[in-house]
């Protein structure tokens, strides 16, 4: 009987000790509870109907594009944002290559945008449009890092002909993109609308605004690609700037525990 009591006491003490150690580990890691909750949602688990554990957190309130915040309080907008954050999480994208390209290309793109007075968040457009890969041409004829149509590229100073296609030059095409973005901002006076116009074209966007009498990007009814465009940009921005909140850290730890080499990781 005494042995059983001692064993029970030992087990309880062990559980208490483990609990303390776990609590210390979480607090020492510096990852707030709401971030862990978001990380769980981004790991491929079922999308919850109730996202109240995330929607009122500082993290969710911080989501923005070019300092234009996601309008909170609209359930459909919030759920759509969560869906794209999850879609771009490490569990879905295996984003080692994306991070490597961002590390190499984003600083030079950001510097050019800054020099032209363009918010740095626009540097994520090439990641969404082309994955920072030149030579990619769409069925409509858009090509290069920024996926410019030939007419738009030439209108903003790029040479596009049978000999030279400057849409494939990262610095020159980024200068052209900065000029185009600045022109769009003069027309729409909203960076989220500028991003939408970059995708759909300024004429198409203006017609949608006039028809719906709505100039808030998040509340406009647009085609599927343009209607998701800013959500994708925010999501890419988040996985690049806060990879640990989107599964990258957790996946790296699992790979390290399994003894996976860097070369194996790069093939994921």
Write out pLDDT tens, residues 135-168: 778 888 899 999 999 999 999 999 999 899 999 9
Model pLDDT, residue 241: 85
Model pLDDT, residue 156: 97
- Per-residue pLDDT, averaged over 166-185, amounts to 97
**Closest by Cα among 230, 143, 140, 148 to 191:** 230
Q: What is the 3-state secondary structure (H, E, C) of 35-64?
A: HHHHHHHCCCCCCCCCCHHHHCCHHHHHCE
Model pLDDT, residue 249: 58
Model pLDDT, residue 267: 37
Residue 15, CB half-sphere, CA atoms under 13 Å: how many?
6
> What is the distance between the alpha carbons of residues 122 and 236, in angstroms, rounded to a whole number?
11
| More confident of the two residues 59 and 84 | 84
- Per-residue pLDDT, averaged over 1-10, amounts to 50
User: Confidence band (pLDDT; 50, 70, 90) for 99?
Assistant: low
User: Confidence band (pLDDT; 50, 70, 90) for 12?
Assistant: very low
Tokens for 196, please give them. 């939408």
User: Confidence band (pLDDT; 50, 70, 90) for 22?
Assistant: very low
Model pLDDT, residue 75: 85
> What is the distance between the alpha carbons of residues 256 and 253, in angstroms, rounded to a whole number?
5
- Per-residue pLDDT, averaged over 161-190, amounts to 96
Tokens for 139, please give them. 């069925």
> What is the distance between the alpha carbons of residues 75 and 50, in angstroms, rounded to a whole number?
10
pLDDT tens, residue by residue, 232-245: 999 999 888 887 77
Model pLDDT, residue 46: 36
Determine which helix (DSSP H) or strand (DSSP E) holds 65, and give its type and residue range. Answer: strand 64-65
Mean residue pLDDT across the chain? 77
Within 8 A by CB and 6+ apart from 29, the residues are none
Rg (CA), the chain: 23
> What is the distance between the alpha carbons of residues 207 and 173, in angstroms, rounded to a whole number?
27
Tokens for 123, please give them. 């540097």
Model pLDDT, residue 264: 37
- Per-residue pLDDT, averaged over 237-254, amounts to 68
What CATH code would you report for 33-266?
1.10.530.10
Full DSSP string of 135-162: T-B-TTS-BTTTTB-HHHHHHTT--BSS
Model pLDDT, residue 54: 66
> What is the distance between the alpha carbons of residues 195 and 214, in angstroms, rounded to a whole number?
16
> What is the distance between the alpha carbons of residues 176 and 182, in angstroms, rounded to a whole number?
10
57 and 26 Cβ atoms separated by less than 8 Å: no
What's the predicted TM-score (pTM) here? 0.74
Within 8 A by CB and 6+ apart from 103, the residues are none
Q: What values do phi and psi take at 69, rounded to 5?
A: -75, 150
Model pLDDT, residue 116: 97
pLDDT tens, residue by residue, 104-123: 789 999 999 999 999 999 99
* CB contact burial 92-116 (16+ within 10 A = b; e otherwise): ebebbebeebbeebbeebbebbeee
63 and 69 Cβ atoms separated by less than 8 Å: yes
pLDDT tens, residue by residue, 128-137: 988 888 777 8
């Amino acid at each position: 009987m005494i042995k059983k009591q001692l064993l029970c006491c030992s087990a309880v003490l062990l559980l208490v000790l483990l609990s303390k150690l776990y609590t210390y580990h979480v607090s020492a890691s510096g990852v707030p509870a709401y971030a862990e909750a978001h990380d769980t949602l981004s790991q491929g688990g079922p999308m919850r109907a109730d996202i109240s554990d995330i929607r009122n957190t500082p993290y969710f309130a911080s989501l923005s594009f070019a300092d234009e915040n996601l309008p909170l309080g609209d359930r459909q907008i919030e759920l759509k944002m969560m869906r794209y954050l999850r879609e771009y999480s490490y569990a879905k994208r295996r984003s080692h290559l994306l991070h490597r390209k961002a590390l190499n290309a984003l600083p030079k793109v950001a510097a050019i945008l800054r020099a032209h007075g363009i918010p740095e968040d626009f540097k994520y457009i090439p990641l969404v449009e082309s994955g920072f890969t030149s030579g990619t041409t769409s069925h409509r004829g858009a090509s290069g890092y920024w996926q410019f149509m030939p007419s738009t590229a030439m209108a903003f100073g790029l040479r596009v002909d049978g000999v030279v296609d400057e849409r494939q030059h990262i610095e020159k095409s980024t200068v052209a993109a900065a000029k185009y973005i600045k022109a769009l901002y003069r027309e729409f006076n909203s960076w989220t609308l500028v991003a939408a116009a970059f995708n759909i074209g300024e004429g198409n966007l203006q017609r949608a605004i006039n028809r719906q009498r709505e100039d808030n990007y998040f509340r406009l009814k647009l085609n599927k690609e343009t209607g998701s465009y800013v959500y994708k940009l925010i999501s890419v921005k988040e996985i690049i700037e806060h990879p640990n909140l989107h599964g990258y850290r957790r996946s790296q730890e699992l790979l390290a525990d399994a003894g996976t080499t860097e070369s194996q990781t790069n093939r994921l």
